[in-house]
Structures are given as structure tokens and as C-alpha cells.
Amino acid sequence: MTPEERKNFYKTTNELFIDVGAKDKNDAIQMGIKPGDPIAPYSNVIELGNNRLLGKALDDRIGCAMLIDLAQKIDEINLPYNVNFVFTTQEEIGLRGAMTTAYLTKSDMCINLEVGVGGDYPYMSIDEAQEKLGLGPINIPS
């Protein structure tokens, strides 16, 4: 998607569809699918080698795994303050979930985990994403 397309919502039902293998609406109904059914695309995670993984939404999944690991480690020590671990949505749309959570919890500090997209692959420029695969946490390549 172009940067302009990313700012817009889908306006018509013809712009987005999921191929379920049905030949028409009646075939989909026979499969037990009806309008409004929740869906979640299935995506395997594949190990590519060189300690790299390929999969859908790894930015969010890795962030969740990091928070769960940290929560388990913090649970083993007695901290003099409360720690909230929150998993939110809509980070691509102005950090809506994170901002709402910060206000609701009245936290003194919030740390948001998010990963960037490597700027060193086709169709992405270094101006759109400063990260480069293998350089570590948001190191800006020179």
C-alpha cells in the first residue's frame, strides 16, 4: 500500500475479500460461512535459518512474548510499586490502545514495545524505515 492508502479505511465491500474456496455465495453458506462471522487467517511461523523467522504479525507476537517473559521474571521479585502489563490494539492508528491504557491506569510511566520494519528490502526505502536487518534495536544505519 502507498502511504496515502494506509491512512484510509476500506470504503466498499468490493475492496477487501477473503478467499475461502467457495465458488459463490451459496457455496460459502453451504460451508457454514455467513456474513459477520469472525475470521483469523492461519499463518505458520517458519524458521529461515540464521536465527530468523518468517510469519504473520511477528511484531505484535514477539512483543507479547517479551511482555509475558518479563511479567514472569518480575513476578519472582518484590517491587515497591505496581506494574501493569497491557496488550493493546491499534498501534498503527496513533497508538490508540496504548494512549487509552496510559490514561485509564494513571501510570507514572508507560513503556510501549513495538518493532520497526527493515528499510533494506525491496519496495521499502531507508526514508520510510530507518531500521536494517541484523543491526539490533532500532539502530539507524549510516
Whether 139 maps to a domain, the answer reads no
Catalytic residue among 4, 5, 15, 91: 91
The range of the structural domain enclosing residue 31 comes to: 3-55
Tell me, yes or no, whether 49 lies in a domain.
yes
Higher pLDDT, 132 or 34: 34
Asked, for residue 29, whether it belongs to a domain, the answer is yes
Domain presence at residue 63:
no
Residue 37 lies in a domain: yes
**What's the number of CA atoms in the CB half-sphere (13 Å) around residue 4?**
0
pTM over 0.85: no
- Give the total number of structural domains in the chain: 1
DSSP 9-75: ---SGGG-----S-SSHHHHHHTT--TT---------EEEETTEEE-TTHHHHHHHHHHHHHHHHHH
Cell reading at 50: 540464521
Q: What is the CA radius of gyration of the chain?
A: 20
- Whether 67 is covered by a domain: the verdict is no
pLDDT of residue 30: 93
Say if 9 falls within a structural domain. yes
Is there a domain that residue 12 lies in? Answer: yes
**Which of the four pLDDT bands, split at 50, 70 and 90, describes residue 32?**
very high
Q: What kind and span of H or E run contains 118?
A: none
Instruction: State yes or no: is 114 an active-site residue.
Output: no
